[in-house]
Chains A and B, each alone.
Chain A
Amino acid sequence: SQQGEEDPQALSIQEGENATMNCSYKTSINNLQWYRQNSGRGLVHLILIRSNEREKHSGRLRVTLDTSKKSSSLLITASRAADTASYFCATDQTFQGAQKLVFGQGTRLTINP
């Protein structure tokens, strides 16, 4: 079964506003990652937060992680039309000594000019 559930499934906001997406998961993790997918393309890594970290920043991205609640959030500040894409969280787990990367269902973000 897949884990990692994002909400909302879809989000539409005006350019310049902030966008917040949430992710919940079920098992213990090594780290949690966020990816972006433009229509018809492969996923691209955005940011990684380790299980012992609570917050991380990268440019206009801010990620939080609450391991007690098994949840994470991705905040995109001052959104731009070019941020329109689908965003996925992925849990990095260890299974039989190897990396297992499981993705959520994703949030479709639309930035209106």
Chain B
Amino acid sequence: DAGVIQSPRHEVTEMGQEVTLRCKPISGHNSLFWYRQTMMRGLELLIYFNNNVPIDDSGMPEDRFSAKMPNASFSTLKIQPSEPRDSAVYFCASSLRRTGITEAFFGQGTRLTVV
């Protein structure tokens, strides 16, 4: 397996534009996580899915953020409209929930810059 695949790797956009980040989890994994990493806030859990169903989106900072997982092999995180303070590295991770073995595998991240 190629691991968790995120796209794009880098995104530069103007304030007010819509941004869509994409994630392909590892085949067979049943949990998917979206994180945001900044120097100030560290690694924040934004939302996570189990069997394609959103479980907890309390970490999503504002209504401008939304996430979907239409099937087991694809998820998106959308920011509309984007603002400069959304600039961060966004990570997607997936795991297979099994008794006692729940390590997460991370993608390489998407570095978002909103100007």
Binding site for B on A (CB under 8 A): 2, 30-31, 33, 35, 41-45, 48, 50, 88, 90, 92, 95-106
Chain A residues contacting B109 (CB-CB under 8 Å) are 41-42
**A2 contacts B56, CB within 8 Å?**
no
| Complex interface: stretch among B65-73, B78-86, B89-97 | B89-97
Binding site for A on B (CB under 8 A): 4, 31, 33, 35, 42-45, 48, 50, 55-56, 91, 93, 95, 97, 100-109
Out of B42, B102, B103, name the residue touching A2 (CB < 8 Å). Answer: B42
**A31 contacts B100, CB within 8 Å?**
yes
**How many Å lie between the Cα of A2 and that of B55 in the bound state?**
16
Q: Name the 3 nearest CB pairs between A and B, nearest first.
A: A42-B106, A98-B50, A45-B103
Known: A43-B106, A48-B103, A99-B97. 11 other contacts (CB 8 A): A2-B44, A42-B93, A45-B104, A48-B100, A97-B50, A98-B97, A99-B48, A99-B102, A100-B48, A103-B35, A106-B42
**How many Å lie between the Cα of A104 and that of B17 in the bound state?**
31
**How many Å lie between the Cα of A33 and that of B93 in the bound state?**
14
**B45 contacts A42, CB within 8 Å?**
no
**How many Å lie between the Cα of A48 and that of B42 in the bound state?**
21
Q: In chain A, what residue has the closest Cβ to B55?
A: A98
Chain B residues contacting A101 (CB-CB under 8 Å) are 33, 45, 48, 93, 95, 102, 104
**A98 contacts B91, CB within 8 Å?**
no
